[in-house]
């Protein structure tokens, strides 16, 4: 239980500052610690949901990407999650997560690649929303593509963070619905305590650190951590 509390605290703090972290880093961490994908989702999703809800409500007037997420991202995520959970015993999900982490890091490290991706987003926005749903369903790594999308649309930290949070809120909610639908609720009692830990960590970090964060100063560090996690997961 201590390992779960530690993971929740550290990555809730990161999420409070950057808008992503709890799922992006928590998922590979728990998979590497030996938890199954289903268990990992049940541990992280309620914590992510409560943080995303608070972030969304604080600046809901800045949220723009509502209809596209519901129409394109949610159905794709639900179908891909259902399939990946159904065949979890046949698939090495850790390596899938590692692949998408490395992909996210490469996109963020190399401006030319990111600019091509931004051009693709601008031209094929609907397809990109489908892509986000698929990535999040099979790996819980939708935070990377979401961050690229929002940073290509907005340039203010508050707008980027709240729109990421809103999409995370919808994705987490429907992921939990899918998990209930397929009868996977074995860790729901643990989550109550972890939600409180996550909430406290987020609120304290948000109060003390959020306004002090220099995005450019920490971007390299975060991307480096994403790359390291991805390589470890791929080589596991």
pLDDT value of residue 218: 61
pLDDT value of residue 214: 59
Stated pTM of the model: 0.85
pLDDT value of residue 19: 66
Two tokens at 121?
A: 């987003």
pLDDT digits (tens, 9 = 90+) for 161-202: 788 888 888 999 999 999 888 865 555 555 678 888 888 888
- In 3D space, the residue among 175, 81, 218, 69 whose CA is nearest the CA of residue 130 turns out to be 69
pLDDT value of residue 210: 59
DSSP secondary-structure letter at 187? T
pLDDT value of residue 79: 93
pLDDT digits (tens, 9 = 90+) for 4-31: 888 898 888 887 776 677 888 899 999 8
Question: Rounded CA gap, 157 and 222, in Å?
Answer: 16
What are the φ/ψ torsions at residue 14 (nearest 5 degrees)? -60, -40
Q: DSSP for the chain? A: -HHHHHHHHHHHHHHHHHS--HHHHHHHHHHHTT--HHHHHHHHHHHHHHHHHHHHHHTGGG----HHIIIIIHHHHHHHHHHHHHTGGGS-HHHHHHHHHHHHHHHHH-HHHHHHHHHHHHH-HHHHHHHHHHHHHHHS-THHHHHHHHHHH--SHHHHHHHHHHHHHHHHHHHHHHHHHTT--TTHHHHHHHHHHHHHHHHHHHHHTGGG--HHHHHHHHHHHHHHHHHHHHH-
CA 15 to chain centre: 9
| pLDDT tens-place values along the chain, 236 residues long | 778 888 898 888 887 776 677 888 899 999 888 888 888 998 899 988 988 898 888 888 888 767 777 788 899 999 999 999 888 777 888 888 888 888 888 888 888 888 888 888 888 888 888 999 999 999 998 888 888 888 777 777 778 778 888 888 899 999 999 988 886 555 555 567 888 888 888 888 776 765 555 556 566 767 777 888 888 888 87
Residues constituting the chain: 236
pLDDT value of residue 78: 93
Helix (H, G, I), strand (E, B) or coil at 59: coil
């Amino acid at each position: 239980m201590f390992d779960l509390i530690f993971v929740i605290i550290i990555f809730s703090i990161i999420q409070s500052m950057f808008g992503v972290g709890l799922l992006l880093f928590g998922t590979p961490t728990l998979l590497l610690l030996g938890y199954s994908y289903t268990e990992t989702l049940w541990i992280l999703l309620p914590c992510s949901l409560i943080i995303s809800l608070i972030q969304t409500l604080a600046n809901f007037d800045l949220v723009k990407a509502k209809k596209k997420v519901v129409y394109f991202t949610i159905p794709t995520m639900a179908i891909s999650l259902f399939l990946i959970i159904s065949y979890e015993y046949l698939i090495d999900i850790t390596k899938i997560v590692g692949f998408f982490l490395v992909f996210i890091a490469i996109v963020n490290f190399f401006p030319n690649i990111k600019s091509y991706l931004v051009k693709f987003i601008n031209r094929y926005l609907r397809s990109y929303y489908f892509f986000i749903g698929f990535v999040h369903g099979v790996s819980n790594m939708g935070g990377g593509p979401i961050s690229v999308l929002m940073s290509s649309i907005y340039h203010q930290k508050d707008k980027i963070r709240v729109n990421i949070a809103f999409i995370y809120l919808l994705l987490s909610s429907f992921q939990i619905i899918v998990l209930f639908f397929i009868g996977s609720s074995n860790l729901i009692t643990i989550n109550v305590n972890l939600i409180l830990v996550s909430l406290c960590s987020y609120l304290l970090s948000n109060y003390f650190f959020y306004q002090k964060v220099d995005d450019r100063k920490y971007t390299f560090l975060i991307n480096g951590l994403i790359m390291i996690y991805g390589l470890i997961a791929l080589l596991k």
